[in-house]
């Protein structure tokens, strides 16, 4: 069954009739202006045409206003079941104003015409009442003189079906017209797609921030808490150090979380935490306290790296140490950071877990996006009995 045939079986397929009534109602304030024209001397046919032109002109002027477009979109979405994006509060450009004016004129004109035709068809449905009432006298309908009789029943059924079909066709027509004239233009659709892309990119960035900071903190804190539980009686000093590390890491994670939640609420959040490669030794200390034998080697002017590169470098080392803690367990991890004149190189190497590489590489996918945005390269995977994470980020164009 086609979509149009299915619409005949649903009440929503006849929404064009109340929508037409709304359009005819909107034209009423323009009729006093048309009445002035009707009172001028001249043939009645000319008065009728001029009156319609005056009504259309007044409606067109009203449609140029910004609120008219917002009202039209809201009415079409509510009464016709459309999902047109609501226009913003900014003043619409003139092409959008002209489309809104054209729609208001069509809505009112076609609405009045539809109601008139539907009224005549439904009046024809009442013809059998003359025959059922025993009145077989002559009557005139649509210019045809006839006597009431049994033939009026099938004629009434035909008119009823025609009225329903016309209402369904009008509904589809109103929906198509509203989409064409009230929907976003090509430029507006491009701007809307750009805004949605920006929102999606922002959400992805926030997800990466949460994964990097909160994931690292939870992994470190979990391991530290487990170690502290085992040493609570044997080595109280080590337990105190573990609890201090958990406290410091949690405070740092709370700063990151407060910043991300502020962005989600679109509030003027606190200044974004700046974690750079200048603090890579802090990462190494936390990892050592969690049980990793971190061998950190830093060379080159790390402190003078571009801020963006340094932040992403910090996240790369953080992700490498987090994965080593989570998957490889306590053991040796080699971390090498080389800041050259043209490129930043980072390598994190640790032993593979006994059951081989683990599944779930959401963090590595996020790192790959970060490095790619900086025109760099990221490689992560098993290398013999080791897991190796390598990143190379250019510091100059063409490097």
Return the domain boundaries, the chain: 3-183, 193-273, 275-399
Q: Is 263 helix (H, G, I), strand (E, B) or coil?
A: helix
CA–CA separation, 10 vs 108, rounded Å? 25
Token pair 């080590």 is found at 238
pLDDT at 133 > cutoff 80:
no
The residue count for the chain = 399
pLDDT at 137: 55
CA–CA separation, 20 vs 292, rounded Å? 74
Closest CA to 10 of 172, 183, 208: 172
Average pLDDT, the chain: 80
Confidence category of residue 269, pLDDT binned at 50, 70, 90:
very low
Confidence category of residue 256, pLDDT binned at 50, 70, 90:
low
Assign a CATH topology to domain 193-273: 1.20.5
Lowest mean pLDDT among 48-57, 105-114, 222-231: 222-231
pLDDT at 287: 84
CA–CA separation, 351 vs 366, rounded Å? 22
pLDDT at 155: 82
Count helices and strands (H / E) in the chain: 13, 7
Q: Is 339 helix (H, G, I), strand (E, B) or coil?
A: strand
pLDDT at 91: 79
Q: Is 273 helix (H, G, I), strand (E, B) or coil?
A: coil
pLDDT higher at 128 or 69: 69
Highest mean pLDDT among 8-17, 40-49, 242-251, 293-302: 293-302
pLDDT higher at 91 or 380: 380
CA–CA separation, 346 vs 304, rounded Å? 16
Confidence category of residue 295, pLDDT binned at 50, 70, 90:
very high
Pick the CATH number of 275-399 from 3.30.360.10, 3.40.50.720, 3.30.565.10, 3.50.50.60: 3.30.565.10
CA–CA separation, 260 vs 271, rounded Å? 10
pLDDT at 336: 95
CA–CA separation, 8 vs 23, rounded Å? 22
pLDDT at 357: 52
pLDDT at 114 > cutoff 90:
yes
**Same fold? 193-273, 275-399:** no
Highest mean pLDDT among 207-221, 264-278, 373-387: 373-387
Q: Which helix (H) or strand (E) holds 299?
A: strand 293-299
pLDDT at 204 > cutoff 90:
no
Closest CA to 380 of 331, 329, 339, 322: 322
Could you read off the pLDDT of 14-72 as tens digits, one per residue? 888 999 999 999 999 998 888 887 777 778 788 788 888 999 999 999 999 889 999 99
pTM of the model: 0.53
Residue 9 structure tokens: 């079986």
Residue 330 structure tokens: 């306590």
**If you average pLDDT over residues 282-305, what whole number do you get?**
87
Q: Is 147 helix (H, G, I), strand (E, B) or coil?
A: strand
Residue 246 structure tokens: 């958990």
pLDDT at 360 > cutoff 60:
no
pLDDT higher at 291 or 251: 291
pLDDT at 184 > cutoff 50:
yes
CA–CA separation, 319 vs 348, rounded Å? 9
**If you average pLDDT over residues 371-381, what whole number do you get?**
87
């Amino acid at each position: 069954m086609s979509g149009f045939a299915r619409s005949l079986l649903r009440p929503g397929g006849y929404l064009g009739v109340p929508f037409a009534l709304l359009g005819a109602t909107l034209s009423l304030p323009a009729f006093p202006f048309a009445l002035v024209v009707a009172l001028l001397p001249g043939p009645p046919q000319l008065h009728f045409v001029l009156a319609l032109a005056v009504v259309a002109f007044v409606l067109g002027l009203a449609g140029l206003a910004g609120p008219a477009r917002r009202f039209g979109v809201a009415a079409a979405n509510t009464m016709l079941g459309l999902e047109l994006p609501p226009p913003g509060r900014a003043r619409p450009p003139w092409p959008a104003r002209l489309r809104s004016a054209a729609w208001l004129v069509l809505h009112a004109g076609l609405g009045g015409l539809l109601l008139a035709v539907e009224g005549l068809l439904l009046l024809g449905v009442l013809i059998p009442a003359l025959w059922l009432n025993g009145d077989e006298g002559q009557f005139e309908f649509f210019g045809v003189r006839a006597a009431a009789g049994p033939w009026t029943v099938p004629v009434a059924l035909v008119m009823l079906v025609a009225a329903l079909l016309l209402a369904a066709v009008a509904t589809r027509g109103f929906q198509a017209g509203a989409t064409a004239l009230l929907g976003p233009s090509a430029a507006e659709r491009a701007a809307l797609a750009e805004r949605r892309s920006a929102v999606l990119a922002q959400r992805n960035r926030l997800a990466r921030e949460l994964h990097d900071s909160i994931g690292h903190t939870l992994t470190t804190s979990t391991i530290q808490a487990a170690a502290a539980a085992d040493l609570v009686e044997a080595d109280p000093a080590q337990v105190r150090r573990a609890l201090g590390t958990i406290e410091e890491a949690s405070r740092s994670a709370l700063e990151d979380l407060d910043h991300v939640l502020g962005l989600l609420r679109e509030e003027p959040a606190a200044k974004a935490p700046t974690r750079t490669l200048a603090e890579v030794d802090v990462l190494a200390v936390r990892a050592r306290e969690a049980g990793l034998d971190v061998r950190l080697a830093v060379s080159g002017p790390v402190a003078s790296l571009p801020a963006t590169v340094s932040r992403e470098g910090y996240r790369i080392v953080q992700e490498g140490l987090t994965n080593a803690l989570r998957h490889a367990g306590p053991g040796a991890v080699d971390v090498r950071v080389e800041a050259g004149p043209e490129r930043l190189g980072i390598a994190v190497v640790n032993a593979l877990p006994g059951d081989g590489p683990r599944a779930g590489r959401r963090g590595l996918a996020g790192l790959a996006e970060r490095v790619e945005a900086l025109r760099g390269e990221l490689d992560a995977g098993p290398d013999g009995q080791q897991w190796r994470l390598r990143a190379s980020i250019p510091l100059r164009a063409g490097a």
